[in-house]
Amino acid sequence: MDIQHYFIFNPAAGSRNAKDRLQEQLDRLSPVPYTLFITGGVGDAARLTREICAQGSDPVRIYACGGDGTLGEVAGGAQGFPHAAVGVWPCGSGNDYTRVYGGPERFLDIKRQLDAPTVLVDLIRANGQAAINVVNLGLEAQAAAATMLRFRHTPLLGGKRAYLMGVLDAVTSHLTTECEITADGELLHEGDLLTASFASGQYVGGGFRCAPRALNDDGLMEVCAILPLSRLTLIKLLPLYKKGQHFEAPAFEGRYRYRRAGSVRIRCDREVALCLDGEIIKGREFGLETLPRAVRFILPPV
């Protein structure tokens, strides 16, 4: 049975010539038929994926052409449809989910994904919305918001530099978030925190390894809350955090709360931002749960 191939391109992600580079690869797919969709806003990729999957039960491969946000939407839309497999053509500013498998370069040749094997991976559902990589609260969520709104398409500040600028912007205005976090029904943290991650993948922001112990197929989130730090201390410890050394570094001892969990509740006294794969939602209460091995992810050979 022939596999139908669909490409969902997010024009707001990554470099401005991404569409031309994608089309060059698609032109070389002949005689393999494909359908290309271009999103017009947040939520389009998820909606298109659901519509594609609902058309029948024949096998389909749907490729998220964008960043982690686009991939998260496509994966969420494909969840519950066993005949669907999700791939990624990474052209976003971070593409952090691919770092679990060695980095974006492995996924840049579309032809290698057409008949590549698949692996089952987890999703995280937050207030009904799916994420495939990492959900963030606090400083990292504020940094992601600043990146999207102010720096992502600024000349000389694209890609990894954009997120670093977002972090610096957030540090000047947002050092603490007051909240209560329960993990699998047990209180993990209450009070102020600097940042928190709820992770299936390991990286955010173009290479910040916020969850170095995370596995994307074990049915659990890596939950880590970093306690408040002064700006001077944060500047000193940020390189360790970026490398994913915060669990081993003596300088971080006593400065975080950590556990693995299948479900998380977050309660805040005021409205806060929660970042799902780079996309922002807002609220005072959030319910997160892991969806174990919920989607088939296309994994091209090394």
Pairing type for strands 221-226 and 256-261 reads: antiparallel
Cα 214 from chain centroid (whole Å): 13
Given a contact cutoff of 8 angstroms between Cβ atoms, the answer to whether 254 and 243 are in contact is no
Distance CA 28, CA 174 (A): 47
Share of the chain above pLDDT 70, in %: 89
List of residues 6+ apart from 240 with CB closer than 8 A:
246, 249, 251, 252
Tens of pLDDT, residue by residue over 175-197, are 789 999 999 999 999 999 999 99
Banded pLDDT at 163 (limits 50, 70, 90): low
More confident residue, 8 or 15: 8
Separation of alpha carbons 4 and 226, rounded Å: 44
- CB-based burial, 151-179: b 16+ in 10 Å, e otherwise: bbeeeebbbebbbbbbbebbbeebbebeb
Q: Is the pLDDT of residue 153 over 60?
A: no
Other Cβ atoms within 10 Å of 190 Cβ, number = 13
pTM of the model: 0.90
The confidence band for 151, taking pLDDT boundaries of 50, 70 and 90, is very low
| Residue 41 predicted with pLDDT over 80 | yes
Question: Is the pLDDT confidence value at 46 over 60?
Answer: yes
Q: What is the pLDDT of residue 141?
A: 86
pLDDT per residue over 282-295, tens digit each?
A: 999 999 999 999 99
**pLDDT of residue 51 exceeding 90:** yes
How far apart CA 42 and CA 49 sit, in angstroms, is: 13
- The pLDDT value recorded for residue 13 is 79
Kindly tell me if the per-residue pLDDT of 34 is higher than 50.
yes
Q: Does residue 208 carry a pLDDT above 70?
A: yes
**Nearest-angstrom CA–CA distance, 106 and 221:** 25
Given a cut of 70, whether residue 145 has pLDDT beyond it is no
Report pLDDT digits (tens) over 224-239. Answer: 999 999 989 998 999 9
Asked if the model's pLDDT at residue 154 lies above 70, the reply is no
Asked if residues 88 and 116 have their Cβ atoms less than 8 Å apart, the reply is no
What integer is the mean pLDDT of 199-220? 95
Mean pLDDT of 105-116: 96
pLDDT at 241 over 80: yes
Q: Does the pLDDT of residue 106 top 50, yes or no?
A: yes
| Residue 129 pLDDT | 94
Give me the percent of the chain exceeding a pLDDT of 90.
Answer: 78
All domains in the chain, ordered by first residue:
4-122+294-298 (3.40.50.10330), 134-293 (2.60.200.40)
Q: Rounded CA gap, 261 and 279, in Å?
A: 22
pLDDT computed for residue 171 by the predictor: 58
Mean pLDDT of the chain: 90
